[in-house]
Structure 1
Amino acid sequence: MNNKADLHSHTTASDGMFSPTENVRMAKELGLDALAITDHDTLSGIEEALEAGKAYGIVVVPGVEISTADNGKDIHILGYGISHEDSQLQDRLLSLRDVRNRRNADILARLNQLGMSISQEELEVAAGKTQNSDGSVGRPHIAQVLVDKGYVDNIRDAFEKYIGEGKPAFVNPPRITPSEAVAWIHEAGGTAIIAHPGLYNDDDLVLSILDAGADGLEAYHSDHDPQMEQRYRQWAEDRSKLVTGGSDFHGIKDGVAFHGTMGSRWIDSSIVNRFI
């Protein structure tokens, strides 16, 4: 046993490239003992992943990544060990997907103003969305269309030039606060972790959320350097909070992973006992 758990991965239920079953299969092939499914604002991939976990002999942690906003910044809160059949949480997440859909429309409008013509239909094709799907469509799907139409070289390029925070087509609609997301996760029986704190460029804000009731920090992440990882681990430990980690795997396109390859960041799988 390698005692490795990757606690941050996305599937086709939101903006990942692979199905929940495929993610679990890859985790097994890579020698991971546990994998968390943490799709954006949806629980729709968890049941399939749990069944795959039984088939492949790997622990699947039911999770979610909830979109929030604070101080003008997008802040993501990870929920682990949630009851994925909780009807109240499902309804709440549906309301967040409505916000996400309105944001997508606003981003497309800005891109069109910048001379990059993308239709809603093209976005839905990229997302593989059907009328029966409750999956979450987000910026990585928009980035993929930008790549497919030749406007940018790759997904990271799309974020850095157009749809990332502070870029010309970035839109930040009103959202719930991080503390509200923490409460939702706790009410669904889960553990609330601040995702990739190094991406916010606001350590004071991260600390305020942590001290306001979040259960821990995702210290280990594909976009964190070693100094960040050490700092966030120390903050969590100083407050007797949990330290987690994950790759934030979305898939691989033309040899480029966004954010990282599965298993590139991990935490000892013993922490999974705290969630399940």
Structure 2
Amino acid sequence: MSTDQKYGDLHTHTTASDGMQPPSENVRIAHGKGLAAVAITDHDTVGGIPEALEAGQRLGITVVPGVEISTRAGGKDIHVLGYYIDITHEPFLNHLAELRQTRERRNDQMIAKLQQLGISITLEEVIAGLGRELKPDESVGRPHMADVLVKKGYASDMRDAFNRYLGEDAPAYVSVPRITPADACNWIREAGGTPVLAHPGIYGDDALVERIVREAKLAGIEVYHSDHGPADEERYLRMADEHGLIVTAGSDFHGERQGVVFHGDIGSRTIPVTVLEQLQRGTK
């Protein structure tokens, strides 16, 4: 098989943040689907990467160390992916720990809002739903809350839970002060990594996306994503070409909850692994 026939999924989540599978399982699934590479990009943590790297060495598949950082711009939550960061870089790890503390405060506020809506739910119950102890470098996210809401009959499925309660325009959503995309990009670069804008189509504001690309000096953009349609892909391919951005792809795999894969299955969005050289260099 020639190099240009090998593909990777550069956006997956594990139990280190709000995914359902341990990191080694994501790697096993990717290998089983014939992928040559898979990135572990958990929210505000790199805690799952050592396990994934070990599994990658065992199975003979490239594991890209990554992260997805939560930021805020233009009144919207904006996510920045970082690839090939040094996961031992102490200042970067300290930054991520601060972000997880912000996430914990938001979790408390969202649980309080849900309770005000008459919903019987506690954070302890959400954590218990993990079926294991929460590690210091792991965090609880909205999908964990959604899981409890579905199990208790307050929502029909994950998407319904987000639409009805947890999404940006829903009554239990809480916006907390966050860093800017430019801050995230600077942190990623300081840790030796390459910053890429995650799923731009989700934000519903291409003018904002253009502004973030310019101001944050992003190196790449996730053109192919489970929530992007063909028209989105065409627009962001043009944007990548105009700004000289690296083009990436990822499923944003979180695992299966109530029989539904959230957002997409591993390998549903892929990119030739030749892009990995660009991500390691930080340039197109």
Fold shared, TM-score > 0.5 on shorter chain = yes
Q: Which amino acid aligns with 1:255?
A: G
Q: Output the CA distance in 1 between the equivalents of 2:129 and 2:265.
A: 21
Computed over aligned residues only, the root mean square deviation of the Cα atoms, in angstroms, reads: 1.1
Q: CA deviation at 1:109?
A: 0.7
1:254 paired residue number: 258
Q: Output the CA distance in 2 between the equivalents of 1:70 and 1:58.
A: 36
Choose which of 54, 77, 85 in structure 2 pairs with 1:82: 85
1:28 paired residue number: 31
Q: CA deviation at 1:129?
A: 5.7
Q: Does 1:178 align with 2:175?
A: no
Q: Output the CA distance in 2 between the equivalents of 1:29 and 1:131.
A: 28
Is the contact between residue 149 and residue 161 of structure 2 (CA under 8 Å) also seen in structure 1? yes
Q: CA deviation at 1:27?
A: 0.2
What's the TM-score, normalizing by structure 2?
Answer: 0.95
Deviates more, 1:234-243 or 1:95-104: 234-243
Q: For this pair of structures, how many residues does the alignment match?
A: 276
Q: Output the CA distance in 1 between the equivalents of 2:84 and 2:279.
A: 5
Give the 3-state SS of the residue equivalent to 2:13 in structure 1: coil
Gaps of at least 5 residues in structure 2 are none
Give the 3-state SS of the residue equivalent to 2:136 in structure 1: coil
Gaps of at least 5 residues in structure 1 are none
1:273 paired residue number: 277
Q: Output the CA distance in 1 between the equivalents of 2:41 and 2:75.
A: 23
Q: Does 1:227 align with 2:248?
A: no
The ranges of structure 1 where at least 4 consecutive aligned residues each deviate by more than 2 angstroms after the TM superposition are 126-133
Aligned-pair identity in percent equals 54
The 5-angstrom pairing of residues 6-155 of structure 1 reads 6-128=9-131, 130=133, 132-155=135-158
Q: Output the CA distance in 2 between the equivalents of 1:77 and 1:129.
A: 28
The 5-angstrom pairing of residues 159-174 of structure 1 reads 159-174=162-177
Q: CA deviation at 1:208?
A: 0.7
What's the TM-score, normalizing by structure 1?
Answer: 0.97
Q: Output the CA distance in 2 between the equivalents of 1:125 and 1:134.
A: 17
Change over 3 Å in CA distance of 1:199–1:219 after alignment to 2: same
Change over 3 Å in CA distance of 1:60–1:110 after alignment to 2: same
Is the contact between residue 246 and residue 279 of structure 2 (CA under 8 Å) also seen in structure 1? no
Change over 3 Å in CA distance of 1:120–1:80 after alignment to 2: same
Is the contact between residue 106 and residue 171 of structure 1 (CA under 8 Å) also seen in structure 2? yes
Change over 3 Å in CA distance of 1:144–1:131 after alignment to 2: closer
